[in-house]
Amino acid sequence: MALSFYNSLSRMEEEFVPLEKGKVRLYTCGPTVYNYPHIGNLRTFLFEDLLKRWLLYRGYQVTHVMNLTDVDDKTIRNSLSQNMSLTDYTALYKQAFFEDIRTLHILPADFYPEATAYIPQMITIIQDLLKNGYAYETEDGVYFKIASFPSYGKLAHLDTSSLKAAASGRLSADEYDKESVSDFALWKKWTPEDGNVKWPSPFGEGRPGWHIECSAMSLSLLGETIDIHCGGIDNLFPHHENEIAQSECYTGKPFVRYWLHAAHLIVDGEKMSKSKGNFYTLRDLLAKGLSPRAIRYALITTHYRKPLNFTFDLARQAEASLKRIDDFLFALRHVQQSGIPDPSLHTTFLEKKRAFEESMDHDLNIAEAMGHLFDIIRAFYEHQSRATLANAEEILSFFVSLENVLGFIEGSSSETLSPEEEALFQARIEAKKNKDYAKADSLREELLRRGIEVRDTPQGPIWRRL
């Protein structure tokens, strides 16, 4: 079966065909940097990491943009309550976000645009929407007129009666639910509650609404129509619905071809909330003695469209599964028997490898795919006495290649570079020798995109997987 994803727009699983052959333009809604990411946010970021890694495994070249929302209702409210400037306040949480994604081995995006750096692009879009009758100005801001866009509601599948009722209302808040569907703010004129957060604009000093931020960054960095846009399910309405409306009225083109949304993380069967005491950041879990590798495993191995119920039992099961994988890789590395490979182990391996790939192609069905990996492990132990070096090598090379997909296969002790990565690493050494520093830098960046950090030491360059 071909690679396919469940598209929230059509509510169907569709074959994935990118606009440009072999290339994928991917936009993922990034963190609102007003606090430490919680493990729900990280679940969504890990699903997006798995998606990107699988696209890379399938040979696509991926350009990935993840924005940082560094101005919105929440960042302003919190920075003011802490008596800090918006810039200083959000800098703390930008750093926390980057630390967390490194800890969890999330591959870096190609671009991390900050909303505050794209205000001129947002103003250009708003001016155009005003000029063409898609927006109107009021005493407190500029609003998008949802009645001007007949396909408003196509992503959230809103019924037309709620849209008619909404046509007269408007809302300036960044976040609201489906019951409050209404015209939404593109620009919010300055009020004293905004402190000194404001930018000049043709519609008065103020700041952008949250939704226009992602439209401006996606259009600026990836173009008018992109292949995949992701986020958690709470982003679907109103955020993504509003992104579609603004962008499509501005460009006249489809904004996104495949919308993918991750279901929420819940804790012990309940919504995670500070008042219930079941609210966790990555730091909380590390402080409780869980390893980043086990946390990654626990957050990634449930299918992304199923709610993930996080429990400490689940984390302990993740640790046990990882130990099983580690022991298996150790056993594989110590197979010494030469001679003809055991045919039945060879056949089972090939079948299960194909099954793993098919499960992943089928809307990233990781839970099923992991089942096939454990079948390979079971088959190996069943045939261990007859397994030869040739059996071990083919299985080992598959598992090593899966490190690039799963990011939790290899423990720290037994890391190797794939032949392709080794070639890039050696090419960089060669470029430095020839004093071609631009080439050396671009090779270092290429390795970083694959999750390998290179550092120069007095003994020569070294590398590690992030």
Binding site for ligand AMP (CB under 6 A): 29, 31-32, 40-41, 43-44, 69, 231-232, 234-235, 262, 264-265, 272
What's the min distance (Å) between Cβ of 281 and Zn ion?
21
Report helix angle 73-81 to 86-103, nearest 10: 110
Query: Is there a cis peptide before residue 150, judged by omega within 30 degrees of 0?
Result: no
The partner in contact with residue 214, picked from Zn ion, ligand AMP, none with C-beta cut-offs of 5 to 8 angstroms by kind, is Zn ion
Cα separation of 105 and 99, whole Å? 10
Looking at the Cβ atoms of 29 and 62, the one nearer to Zn ion is: 29
The partner in contact with residue 44, picked from ligand AMP, Zn ion, none with C-beta cut-offs of 5 to 8 angstroms by kind, is ligand AMP
Looking at the Cβ atoms of 70 and 227, the one nearer to ligand AMP is: 70
The partner in contact with residue 32, picked from ligand AMP, Zn ion, none with C-beta cut-offs of 5 to 8 angstroms by kind, is ligand AMP
What's the min distance (Å) between Cβ of 102 and ligand AMP?
17
Cα separation of 420 and 450, whole Å? 11
Instruction: Restricting to residues 166-225, name those near Zn ion by CB under 5 A.
Output: 214
Q: Which two tokens stand for residue 151?
A: 């396909």
Using CB under 5 A as the binding criterion, the count of chain residues that bind Zn ion stands at 2
Looking at the Cβ atoms of 209 and 341, the one nearer to ligand AMP is: 209
The single residue listed with the structure tokens 């992104």 is 243
Looking at the Cβ atoms of 174 and 194, the one nearer to Zn ion is: 174
Residue 451 to residues 110, 283, 333: CA-CA distances in angstroms?
12, 22, 24
Looking at the Cβ atoms of 173 and 272, the one nearer to ligand AMP is: 272
Stretch of 28-36, 197-205, 323-331, 338-346 contacting Zn ion, by CB under 5 A? 28-36
3-state secondary structure (DSSP) of residue 235: helix
What's the min distance (Å) between Cβ of 60 and ligand AMP?
22
The partner in contact with residue 31, picked from ligand AMP, Zn ion, none with C-beta cut-offs of 5 to 8 angstroms by kind, is ligand AMP
What's the min distance (Å) between Cβ of 52 and Zn ion?
17
Looking at the Cβ atoms of 32 and 63, the one nearer to ligand AMP is: 32
Cα separation of 448 and 430, whole Å? 18
Instruction: Restricting to residues 394-433, name those near Zn ion by CB under 5 A.
Output: none
The partner in contact with residue 377, picked from Zn ion, ligand AMP, none with C-beta cut-offs of 5 to 8 angstroms by kind, is none
Q: Which two tokens stand for residue 316?
A: 């302990």
Q: Closest residue to ligand AMP, Cβ-based?
A: 232
Burial label for 251, CB within 10 Å (0-12, 13-18, 19+), is middle
Looking at the Cβ atoms of 35 and 251, the one nearer to ligand AMP is: 35
Cα separation of 50 and 360, whole Å? 10
What's the min distance (Å) between Cβ of 175 and ligand AMP?
9
Cα separation of 35 and 41, whole Å? 11
What's the min distance (Å) between Cβ of 111 and ligand AMP?
17
Nearest of 320, 337, 448, 327 to residue 383 by alpha carbon: 337
Cα separation of 185 and 208, whole Å? 8
**Contact pick of 3, 9, 24, 29 for Zn ion (by CB under 5 A):** 29
Instruction: Render the burial of 53-86: b for 16+ CB within 10 Å, e for the rest.
Output: bbbbebebebbbbbbbbbbbbbbbebbbeeeeeb
Looking at the Cβ atoms of 71 and 294, the one nearer to Zn ion is: 71
Summarize as ranges the residues that interact with Zn ion (CB under 5 A): 29, 214
